[in-house]
Structure 1
Amino acid sequence: MSDGSTPRPKDLVNRQFAVERPNALWLTDFAMYRAGRASSMSRSFNVFPGGIVGWRVSSSANSGFVLDALEQALYERQLAHQDGLIRHSDRSVQYVPTRYSDRLVDAGIEPSVGSVSDSHADALVETINGLYQAEVIHRPGPWRNLQAVEMAMVEWADEFNNRRLLGPIGDIPPAETGSRLVFETH
């Protein structure tokens, strides 16, 4: 979480998660999970219509892992510069450092953060977070190490993108629409 003293971007999403085109809105989040050593998972995803685009696993919650996941997402979506794309997150300090903010600007991505004390501001990404926790983290654990979590993430993302039928997009997998989600693991 933020200490509150660092300026933050405005909330450009305002709980309005419906978008009309691919690469209009990416949501990102990270959470801590036990995996041998403490690990945290960060993920971003393209809301229209959804699919995992980038993710990272790390043993420390520094800002570098969210930047790595952003780079993976840009590569996956083949986006050198994307005007009109909003990247929305909570107020975590990992999303504010200059390198991360500068990379968003370089890619033409508008930063957005949820409002203070609003549990619904990140509701959609928290739904994916809960799904991941229920289907991966809490099922086979306890995890031996971070590499085991990373392999489980690769398998889950592949299943989510290529085989999971999502009702909001016509009961097809996200890969059939050309859009994907982004996950970062830490």
Structure 2
Amino acid sequence: MARRKVYTPEFKQQAVQLAQQPGNTNQGIASDLGISQSALSSWIKAAKEHGSLAFPGQGVARLTPEQETIKRLERELVTLRQEREILKSAGDLVRQGSKMIYPFVHAQRPQFPLRVLCRTLGVTESGYHSWRARPQKRVKDDAQLLAYIETVHDDSKGRYGSPRVYLELQATGVRCSRHRVARLMRAAGRQGRGKRRSKSTTDSGHSLPVAENLLMRQFEVAEANLVWASDMTFIRTTEGWLYLSVVLDLYSRKIVGWSMGSRMTADLPLSALQMAFHQRHPAPGLIHHSDRGSQYASKVYQHALQGMQMTCSMSRKGDCWDNAVVESFFASLKREECDGAAYSTRDIARQHVFAYLEQFYNRKRRHSYLGYVSPAEFEAQHPANLKRIA
């Protein structure tokens, strides 16, 4: 008989904040997060009645006057950059006349106000509307397809490039070719987010005992809850670093546990491990792989692994490739969510990272290793391989 899932106070707080955002519904958020609508409703009610006391330790921090000033300056900076970004994206189109400018204006309307586009590119709004009214079948077909493309691209928050956008369109029944999607995205100035450099957070300069590398880069796993991999990273905010620890199931690449905090102590990965354990209830013998960081080698963390009947495995010293799957996940997180973001507080960063982990990555993001389905969909497609979840 399956055990009842246990959700951390942080998970509840972030779920409530996500449900309260404009445009979101309790039913939609509950479905996205894989929880019941009644549970979410009870958390919202508790938050309304008790405020920050409803979820101890996870109260919402108010912005200081300095942070409010920073947010105002950020908004002004976005406005000042609009014309420069339009001209940069337009390139030589200005010299090619309105026949080329109007399609560009149409493609860029989701990104910029129409009046700013027309003023910057030297055309009139009435001229643009006249162009749109012309009976050009190919233009209309491209415009319709572009609208679908923009919806998919926006839903991914600009994370998807043309291959994933194409697959998403195919899944929803929109007929098109890969090349046409790529062409329209280029013309619209839309693209996925590129690769980035990573920075190590591992402190292996300690005298604590370390475990043997049992994984040996065998990242293909036949069943759920056979091998988990864990690591930590950092996210920049105006208040300072926000640290994130995750536990990833190598079978489905699903994030089964996570924790965020302002300090990178052993309590951070321990909270993520406890969340994963209570969510998945793995059978004894699971291999837990991590780097040689002092947090993972600490007595409190090793004691927890023993209590959960897990076998510890650690990467070789200075070899990030021994934990490459989690490193790859962090690269995707930074590229698709954090790069270019200006988080004024740790709490705001928490909300964005929570939405990425639980609402997007686990349940929606098309993973190339899984045949371009999400981790949750992959597990749903292979229920027989989930037998190790009690």
Quick one: distance in 2 between partners of 1:170 and 1:30? 26
Kindly provide the CA deviation profile for residues 103-138 of structure 1, in whole angstroms up to 9, marking residues without a partner as x.
Answer: 111111111110113232121111111001111221
From 242, 245, 253, the counterpart of 1:50? 253
Identity of matched residues, %: 26
Kindly provide the CA deviation profile for residues 21-78 of structure 1, in whole angstroms up to 9, marking residues without a partner as x.
Answer: 101111111122322222222222001111111111111111111111111111221x
2:326 alignment counterpart: 125
Q: How does 1:54-65 map to 2 (within 5 A)?
A: 54-65=257-268
Question: In the alignment, is the contact (CA less than 8 A) between 1:33 and 1:40 conserved in 2?
Answer: yes
Quick one: distance in 1 between partners of 2:338 and 2:258? 15
- Structure ranking higher on relative contact order (CA contacts 8 Å, 6+ apart): 1
Q: Which TM-score applies when normalising by structure 2? A: 0.43
Q: Is 2:279 the counterpart of 1:76?
A: yes
Quick one: distance in 1 between partners of 2:367 and 2:335? 17
1:148 alignment counterpart: 348
| Deviation, structure 1 residue 86 | 0.9
Quick one: distance in 2 between partners of 1:2 and 1:86? 20
| Deviation, structure 1 residue 167 | 3.6
Question: In the alignment, is the contact (CA less than 8 A) between 2:206 and 2:294 conserved in 1?
Answer: no
Q: Is 2:340 the counterpart of 1:139?
A: yes
Secondary structure at the aligned position of 2:276 is classed as: helix
- One-letter amino acid of the structure 2 residue matched with residue 43 of structure 1: V
Question: In the alignment, is the contact (CA less than 8 A) between 1:83 and 1:109 conserved in 2?
Answer: yes
2:289 alignment counterpart: 88
From 300, 311, 315, the counterpart of 1:99? 300
Quick one: distance in 1 between partners of 2:255 and 2:369? 16
Taking structure 1 as reference, are residues 99 and 117 closer, same or farther at Cα in structure 2, changes over 3 Å only? closer
Q: Is 2:365 the counterpart of 1:164?
A: yes
Question: In the alignment, is the contact (CA less than 8 A) between 1:27 and 1:89 conserved in 2?
Answer: yes
Quick one: distance in 2 between partners of 1:85 and 1:93? 21
Taking structure 1 as reference, are residues 167 and 34 closer, same or farther at Cα in structure 2, changes over 3 Å only? closer
Quick one: distance in 2 between partners of 1:39 and 1:153? 10
Quick one: distance in 2 between partners of 1:38 and 1:85? 32
More strand per residue: 1 or 2? 1
Question: In the alignment, is the contact (CA less than 8 A) between 2:243 and 2:261 conserved in 1?
Answer: yes
- One-letter amino acid of the structure 2 residue matched with residue 97 of structure 1: S
Question: In the alignment, is the contact (CA less than 8 A) between 2:232 and 2:245 conserved in 1?
Answer: yes
- One-letter amino acid of the structure 2 residue matched with residue 114 of structure 1: S
Question: In the alignment, is the contact (CA less than 8 A) between 2:260 and 2:350 conserved in 1?
Answer: yes
Quick one: distance in 1 between partners of 2:362 and 2:219? 19
- One-letter amino acid of the structure 2 residue matched with residue 108 of structure 1: Q
| Deviation, structure 1 residue 83 | 1.9
Question: In the alignment, is the contact (CA less than 8 A) between 2:227 and 2:250 conserved in 1?
Answer: yes
Aligned residues: 176
Q: Is 2:245 the counterpart of 1:26?
A: no
Unaligned runs of 5+ in 2: 1-202, 383-390
